Amino acid sequence: MQTVFWTLPINEQFMNQITYKELKSVLNKILIKTGFDVNDAELCATIFSNSTADGYHSHGVNRFAEFIKSITDGYVQIDVSPEKLLSLGSFERWDGKLGPGPLNAHFSMNRAIALAKEYGMGCIAMQNSSHWMRGGAYGWQAAEAGCIGICFTNTEPNMPSWGAKTANTGNNPLIVAVPNDTGHIVLDMSLSQFSYGKMWQLTMEEKELPFPGGYNADGVLTTVPKDIVDTRRVLPTGYWKGSGLSIMLDLIVTLLSSGRSTAKIGEMEAEYGLSQVFICFDVDQLNHADRHKSLVDEIINHVTAAQPVDPGSQIEYPGSRTLKRRAKHMKEGIPINNEIWDHLLTMV
């Protein structure tokens, strides 16, 4: 049952308003009960709570029960530590030992930050990791540490490449983050035009997609989310372009980590053992702080100063909406679906 909880819609009705502190405390208790040690539980609860506060419920609180199930089912291991397999100065390869995705990804980005502080840039490739939940979490982590951060992961085969009818590649999320003193700039995008979570949500709200998101059973592009969920023929971001980029990201994570490709992940009974890459650049070694600030301001001001399509509206940039949601939720509490919250309380 809990494996589909993350697909529940964020609906203003039937919502509890939970404080960040309360959410994190409940998640922490469940993690401790599951067997996490105190430090790992604290970090993991923080990552899930931050993602939820930022509005990414589908990869935060709504997916938490499924995350715990991946541990109790034995796919994700909690008594392991990453092991270094290869070191080439600013590049390192690690074995994630099938540990929890959020902890492995946080570890990897921290290591990439450390290498960047030492060498100017750093790159970590990790094999045998698990689903990292919200990739953006590790972009914010890099930016908080004063690093430009880039990370990407492969997934199970969940998207047909351009010209294919069956899923032969993944939607391989790509995250890019840049530190900014008035709020970091963070892009967190998967390479399908819409996520399954979004399509489930709109299906239950009886709404259509704003643009075609995939093919229906007749092979016609459609905006009806249920028809796409049924065929599983989701459209890559930008048709052939997202398709090509998805294949390239799978090649890079697999070759750098010497780990599992999307093809290999698809042969397993669940989505685990993923390959991931984390790249950092230390901004302090690239530009003086004033120069960094003026270059970032120059770009963001140019973007936001354009004429908006909707008169009076504000032009957004990557991360700007997240910052607003985070501020609102930290002040007013986080809306969380009743059913999900009640279920979590039974797990404490």
- Dig out the tokens for 1 from the structure: 């049952």
Please identify, among the stretches 43-51, 66-74, 222-230, 257-265, the one whose residues bind a second copy according to the rule CB under 8 A. Answer: 257-265
| Pairwise CA distance, residues 59 & 216, whole Å | 26
| Pairwise CA distance, residues 49 & 35, whole Å | 19
| Pairwise CA distance, residues 316 & 52, whole Å | 21
Nearer to a second copy, 164 or 268 (CB): 164
Please identify, among the stretches 27-35, 44-52, 57-65, 288-296, the one whose residues bind a second copy according to the rule CB under 8 A. Answer: 288-296
CB of 179 to a second copy, least distance (A): 9
286 binds a second copy (CB under 8 A): yes
The site string for a second copy over 22-61 (x = CB under 8 A, - otherwise) reads ----------------------------------------
204 binds a second copy (CB under 8 A): no
CB of 314 to a second copy, least distance (A): 8
312 binds a second copy (CB under 8 A): no
126 binds a second copy (CB under 8 A): no
How many positions of this chain bind a second copy (CB under 8 A)?
Answer: 80
CA distances from 69 to 31, 62, 265 (A): 11, 13, 19
Phi, psi angles (nearest 5°) of residue 218: -90, 5
Residue in 157, 225, 333, 335 binding a second copy, rule: CB under 8 A: 157
The site string for a second copy over 175-194 (x = CB under 8 A, - otherwise) reads -x-x------x-x-x---x-
Nearer to a second copy, 1 or 305 (CB): 305
Nearer to a second copy, 98 or 185 (CB): 185
Residue in 38, 164, 327, 345 binding a second copy, rule: CB under 8 A: 164
Contact of 173 with 125, CB cutoff 8 Å? no
Scanning residues 61 to 100, which ones bind a second copy (CB under 8 A)?
A: 86, 88-91, 93
Nearer to a second copy, 35 or 219 (CB): 219
CA angle 182, 183, 185 (to 5 degrees): 125
- Catalytic residue list contains 59: yes
Scanning residues 222 to 251, which ones bind a second copy (CB under 8 A)?
A: 236-239, 241-242, 244-245, 247-251
Contact of 16 with 340, CB cutoff 8 Å? no
Active-site pick, 59, 106, 184, 292: 59
- Dig out the tokens for 84 from the structure: 């270094």
Type of residue at 105:
A
Nearer to a second copy, 38 or 289 (CB): 289
| Pairwise CA distance, residues 76 & 101, whole Å | 8
Q: What is the CA radius of gyration of the chain?
A: 20
- Dig out the tokens for 110 from the structure: 């921290």
DSSP 8-state secondary structure symbol assigned to residue 149: E
298 binds a second copy (CB under 8 A): yes
| Pairwise CA distance, residues 311 & 323, whole Å | 23
Nearest to 14 by CA among 341, 344, 338: 338
DSSP 8-state secondary structure symbol assigned to residue 310: S
Nearer to a second copy, 83 or 342 (CB): 83
Report, as residue numbers or ranges, the catalytic residues.
Answer: 59
